[in-house]
Structures are given as structure tokens and as C-alpha cells.
Amino acid sequence: MQEIKIKKSYLIIGFIVVLALAVLLLIPKFAQNSVKEGLNVGQLAPDFTLQDPVNGIITKETFQGKPLIIFFTTTWCVPCQIGAQNLAKYDDETGGNAFNVLIVFVDERETDSQFLTWKEKFGRSDWYVAKGIEMAENYKVQYLDTKYVFDKNGIIKWFDLRPLEYSTTKSILQPLLS
């Protein structure tokens, strides 16, 4: 009788250990899926790796320590160009080094040369530019002029699809610079 109780105890302990291991193995998968699918304000932004024609390989970690605005566009999107000029104006007013800017181009036909010409015309020399078709898919971009703002720790603080106005730029970024 005692032997049966001991075997039952081992079975129960074994079952609990297996269940605990299963939970520990599944929790990270659920957490990863929520980040990849979420992209909501308050969530940690998904990782990315891009190639900037001047700065080389850039990742989310490249921008740690400062707020970051990611702007999904093409070289030919006129409302996006106006929004970039508004962003550049605010960048100039804050000293040109208070936050990072990453312009992600989503037209497969465009080239690094076109990105650099666009940056000269509408952006600033310290802005990052790169082609990011896969990143746009991961960030669930459906429209040109999609923008994300992250705080210095990579947490999404703002998301928008409308043309970027100067007043919006200032009201979103200014609290993150304090």
C-alpha cells in the first residue's frame, strides 16, 4: 500500500514538473507573438535590421538612449515630404541632436542614391535612411506616411497615419525630450 502511495507521489511530482516546464517554454513564445502582432502604444517595438547607405547596418539598438521617430514613406510621396520638412524644422529647433530619425523607404524600385537625394532635400544629414520592405511588413504598414515614435527605451509612444504637421511633431516629441 505504501509503495502505491510513493509511486502516486512520484507521478504527481513528475506531472507538475512537466507542466511547469511546458509553461516556462510557452511563455516566451506568447510574449514574442504579442509584440510582433501588437505594435500598440506602450509595447516594446519589434527588432529590425536595415542597411543605411552611409551608416551601414542599423538596428533598433542603434537608437537606444534617445527618442526615435520612424517614418515609412517613398521618395515621391509629397505629403510625406512636407511632413519631413516639418520634422526637420523641429529637429533644428531642438539642436539637431535631441532625437533620432529613421526614414524607411518602402518602394522596391527606389535606390540608395534616391534615398540620399531625398535626405538632402527634405531631411537632415544625421537622419538615417534605408529601404525597409520587410520591416514595413513586420510593422504592419499599410499606408505611406505611417509613423511610429519610440521613447529612449524602445517603447512605442505614438503611432499615426496622417500627414505630419509641425504642431503634432512638437507635441509628441517634446515630452520625450525632458
Total Cβ atoms within 10 A of residue 60: 18
Does 127 reside within a domain? yes
What average pLDDT values come out for the chain (178 residues) when binned by 10 residues?
59 48 42 50 93 97 96 97 97 96 98 98 97 95 96 94 95 94
Nearest partner of 147 among 52, 77, 98, judged by Cα: 77
**Are residues 73 and 29 part of one domain?**
no
Query: How many domains are contained in the chain?
Result: 2
Does 44 reside within a domain? no
Element (H, E) at 57: strand 56-59
**Are residues 14 and 88 part of one domain?**
no
**Are residues 130 and 76 part of one domain?**
yes
> What confidence score (pLDDT) does residue 24 get?
43
Return all residues near 169 (Cβ < 8 A) that are at least 6 apart.
86, 87, 89, 90
> What confidence score (pLDDT) does residue 178 get?
78
**Are residues 124 and 66 part of one domain?**
yes
> What confidence score (pLDDT) does residue 25 get?
46
d(C-alpha 166, C-alpha 150), whole Å: 18
Structure-block grid coordinates of residue 177: 525630450
